[in-house]
Structure 1
Amino acid sequence: MNVRDLMTPEPITVAPETPVAQVIALLVSQGVNGVPVVDASGALLGMVTSGDLIHRLADERLEPHSSLWRESFYRSVFSAAHRDAPDPAEGATAAQVMSRDTVCVAPEDDMVVAARLLIAHGVKSLPVLEAGRLVGMISRMDLLRCLHAHPDCCNPLKKTD
């Protein structure tokens, strides 16, 4: 079965300038873990997930750190490449908090490819791109629905008698 057969077509999206509070409200009201961020032409720019937004609760500036030297070292060494990017805990818009390195699939890809990518990258859903444009989303739940509806089609280890 292909991704196209299982994906959610025309997924909920947000624009890069969407305020974070609106993104949070959308995730909560729709019961989803993430939304694609797209430009006016429908090109995928990134994803805002619950994982990106949880930084607001884990803001390390609120607790005293065990070592000022260690904090300064990590900030200077590891965040040097991202000095222009806002801290996810401080971002005000979808573009400022989104993950940019998004793993995607094509509608023609087999569902096994989607399952392997979901597992390998530890994500809950994947954008589906066709000709560079977002055409759908496929999630772990979409794959489970398929497994539930067709338990024999998805188990390569099933014994045949």
Structure 2
Amino acid sequence: MNVEQLMTRDPITVAPQTPVEEIAQILLEHRINGVPVIDWEGRMLGIITAADLIYRAADETLGPRTSIWKENFYKSVFRRHPEEPDKDQGRTAMEVMTRDVHSVEPDTDIVMAARLLVDFDIVSLPVLQNDRVVGMLSRHDLLKWVAKHPQEGANPLKAGEK
């Protein structure tokens, strides 16, 4: 079985200039965890997840700073990608998105995709074909398949290989 059989086709996407408030509203209205950020040709530039927006909210609501030196030290040591701007300062998709994104292709084996989701603690994966977003595969998509096929045994995702 491959990703194309389980993915959500034609996912909701946003443009780089989409305001953060609009992205939050999209996530809430559609009950999704994230949206790819695409350029005018449909190529993926990054992804924005609920976690990205929650990070922003958490950082903005912290109490008074006790030590600028300590804060700068922690940011320099623990920042995921030093070249990226602080997400709490961003106002648009381009400024808040995660640029280093794991993705899969439609013909990727579903077991490999599931392993990526688990190993990297990812909630959803963009599905790319010719560098364009054609779908999203989420943990929820995999869970729906497992729920429909309980008779497949201990490893239902491998059952299709028989």
Taking a change above 3 Å as real, the CA distance of residues 144 and 70 of structure 1, as seen in their structure-2 partners, is same
| Contact 1:147–1:154 (8 Å) recurs in 2 | no
User: What is aligned with 1:14?
Assistant: 14
- Give 1:110 shift: 1.4
How far, CA to CA, are the matches of 2:41 and 2:94 in structure 1?
16
Which TM-score applies when normalising by structure 1?
A: 0.86
Matched, 1:105 2:101: no
Name 1:51's counterpart in structure 2.
51
Query: Which is worse superposed, 63-72 or 140-149?
Result: 63-72
Instruction: Name 1:136's counterpart in structure 2.
Output: 135
- Residue number in structure 1 paired with 2:150: 151
Q: Shift of the alpha carbon at 1:60?
A: 5.9
Match of 2:120 in 1: 121
Q: Deviations for 1:116-136, whole angstroms, at most 9, x for unmatched residues?
A: 000011111000011111110
Separation in 2 of the partners of 1:121 and 1:127? 14
Cα deviation, residue 69, structure 1: 3.1
Alpha-carbon offset, residue 76 of structure 1: 5.3
Taking the aligned partners of 1:56 and 1:101, their CA distance within structure 2 comes to: 18
Name the SS for the 2:35 alignment partner: strand
**Structure 1 unmatched runs, 5+:** none
What amino acid does structure 2 have at the position aligned with 1:71?
Answer: E
Alignment of 1:16-31 (within 5 A): 16-31=16-31
Once superposed, what is the RMSD of the aligned Cα atoms? 2.3
Aligned residues: 156
Shift in alpha-carbon separation, 1:72–1:137, aligned structure 2, 3 A: closer
Change (3 A) 1:110 1:127: same
- Please give the TM-score of this superposition, normalised by the length of structure 2: 0.86
Residues 17 and 95 of structure 1 are in contact (CA less than 8 Å); yes or no, is this contact kept in structure 2?
Answer: yes
Q: Give, in angstroms, the shift of residue 43 of structure 1.
A: 0.6
Deviation sequence 1:40-94 (CA, Å, 0-9, x none): 1111111000000012321167423454432233345666x736x4321120100
1:94-142 CA distances to partner (integer Å, 9 max, x unpaired)?
Answer: 0100011110011111111111000011111000011111110000011
Distance 1:154 1:118, change over 3 A: farther
Larger Rg: 1
